[in-house]
Amino acid sequence: MGLQSSTHRRAWTVAAASVVAAILVSGVSYAYWSSTASGTATIGSTTAQPLVVSSIATPLADLYPGKTDDLGFTVKNDNAYPVRVTALTGVSVASSDSAACPVSNLTLSSAISPIPVGGYQLTPVVTVAGGGGTATGTLPGLVQMNTTAGDGCQGKTFTFTLTFSGTQQ
């Protein structure tokens, strides 16, 4: 009786396992039904932020009648991408005391006055990193104080508003 009981249990176990396997297989087959999807997704583009131009940290104070000088500048880029500044395309000058020393006492480099098509090409090009990066550059021989500038031009400050052009790097 012990042998039959063991065989009977084994047969019962195999039968139960077969039923469980059949249920699992049929359940898995339901999980493989196919379906499709369609729809739209969007992405937007950023808007370019203007570059900010300012003086170098310590501007020179060494102009005198007859002297030609360079002008240093700093460019800040708040765009997410780097920008290559390639040309100076506009310059205006203001005097801290236009009555005592009008800007007519200054002469801008012939390379930019009047500004030729395309402007004063920067050599080297100034590359400004994105994300608030800054870079400095120099405009060599940009300005000369005329030899006729009078004593009223001593100790004055001249502010240059510079317009540059460039492209995303």
Cis check for the bond before 59: say yes or no (omega within 30 of 0).
Answer: no
3-state secondary structure of 71: strand
Per-residue pLDDT tens over the stretch 75-122: 999 999 999 999 898 888 999 999 999 999 999 887 776 666 667 888
For residues 21 and 149, give the distance between their C-alpha atoms in angstroms, rounded to a whole number.
103
For residues 42 and 40, give the distance between their C-alpha atoms in angstroms, rounded to a whole number.
7
Answer yes or no: pTM beyond 0.75.
Answer: no
For residues 149 and 169, give the distance between their C-alpha atoms in angstroms, rounded to a whole number.
43
Q: Residue 12 — very low, low, confident or very high, per pLDDT cuts 50/70/90?
A: low
* Residue 23, number of CB atoms within 10 A of its CB: 10
Per-residue pLDDT tens over the stretch 110-160: 777 666 666 788 888 999 999 999 999 988 888 999 999 999 999 999 999
Find tokens 């002469």 and name the residue.
Answer: 107
